[in-house]
Amino acid sequence: MTVCYLNDDFVELSKASISPLDRGFLFGDSVYEVFAAYNKNLFRLDDHINRLNKNLEFLGIKINISDSQIKSILKEVCLKNFEENQIIYLQISRGAEEIRNHIPKKDTKPTLFICSFEMKSVPNKNNDTIKAILSSDIRWKKSSIKSTSLLANVLYKIKAEEEGVDELLMSDAGYITEGAVSNVFCVKENKVYTPPLDANILPGITRKVILEIFEELKLNFEEKKIDEEFLFESDELWITNTTKGILPIVELNEKIIGDGTPGELYQYVKQAFLKKIEDCKVL
Ligand code: PDD
């Protein structure tokens, strides 16, 4: 049995239902967060809540619930589900209305939904590698917003699967933005590069953690625009996100990156990332 939270109640996921007139369903008028919980401890909870609040503010969605209430509901969902390591999904839509109208009513009550999935692969010491393809970025210009309007991302993931790769990286006017579900890093001559936040990318929480690790380890890095040529010529290529942590891309458009194995810097940074997860487990 999976327990979720919908509006004001904890319910069995299979019994949870919302109106088909919910604006999240009709218009994608909603934002979401994906949290990792290790040993039932939510990783970087405050960072996720801060990003959620910024997104709600951008959309002008006002939900009558405090940060501490949301945090305790998230923790409760974690505790009510039995898996030690979970992926917690949270979505807030502008709510359900009586008729379909692009212009929302001022007093519509937002819909809050939180559910848990088993974390299938917990970041570990294995030398897992992935392959990716590059495609042009067809998304809107506000990809910094974690909106549930993910049609382009869905099509990208379908394309990646059809082509037998794990992720699809995007480029806009020749410059790399991010992956369909991840942020991108590359290494050239022992320096790490990642596109800046104003490159129409999601401000990933894992990206933020990795940047903190660079500071802590005093690594040479820069947030700068990365062109396609630079990307293909990089010594190492990594992606980061909440569900997978950090993973090395060893093949891009069938071109081998570096020597086709997880690079030295990747392994160094990943150790530090795994340590952060370990610290979270004993909170
Ligand atoms: N997505 N960029 C995009 C487009 C993403 O969808 C994601 C994560 C990221 C990484 O963000 P974070 O480190 O905060 O997870 C970057 C989640 C996992 C998803 O949609 O399921």
The enclosing domain of 86 has a CATH number of 3.30.470.10
Residues 214, 215, 218, 220: is their CA dihedral positive or negative? positive
Rounded to the nearest angstrom, the distance between the alpha carbon of 98 and the centre of ligand 1 is: 32
Atom 16 (ligand 1) nearest CA? 182
Say what the pLDDT of residue 283 is: 67
Residue 198's alpha-carbon distances to 23, 178, 194, in angstroms, are: 28, 12, 11
Same domain, 113 and 188: no
Same domain, 11 and 113: yes
Rounded to an integer, the average pLDDT of 163-174 is 98
Average pLDDT, the chain: 97
Same domain, 175 and 261: yes
Same domain, 84 and 148: no
Atom of ligand 1 nearest to the CA of 143: 4
Contact criterion met (CB below 8 Å) for 246 and 240: yes
Q: Which of 234, 211, 231 shows the shortest CA–CA distance to 223?
A: 211
The enclosing domain of 218 has a CATH number of 3.20.10.10
Same domain, 47 and 149: no
- Write the pLDDT tens digit of every residue in 7-44: 999 999 999 999 999 999 999 999 999 999 999 999 99
Mutate to test the pocket of ligand 1, among 30, 31, 34, 91 (most ligand atoms within 8 A of CB): 34
Same domain, 260 and 140: yes
Residues 142, 153, 208, 111: is their CA dihedral positive or negative? positive
In this structure, is residue 248 part of a structural domain?
A: yes
Rounded to the nearest angstrom, the distance between the alpha carbon of 182 and the centre of ligand 1 is: 5
Rounded to an integer, the average pLDDT of 191-200 is 98
Please tell me which residue in 146, 244, 270, 276 is annotated as part of the active site.
146
In this structure, is residue 124 part of a structural domain?
A: no
Atom 3 (ligand 1) nearest CA? 181
d(CA 224, CA 122): 30
Say what the pLDDT of residue 282 is: 75
- Write the pLDDT tens digit of every residue in 136-149: 999 999 999 999 99
Our count of domains for the chain comes to 2
d(CA 96, CA 100): 9
Same domain, 223 and 191: yes
> The domain containing residue 11 runs over which residues?
3-118
In this structure, is residue 123 part of a structural domain?
A: no
Same domain, 108 and 171: no
Show the ligand 1 pocket: residues with CB < 6 angstroms.
34, 178, 181-183, 202, 204-207, 240-243
- Write the pLDDT tens digit of every residue in 77-104: 999 999 999 999 999 999 999 999 999 9
Same domain, 214 and 104: no
In this structure, is residue 99 part of a structural domain?
A: yes
Atom 11 (ligand 1) nearest CA? 204
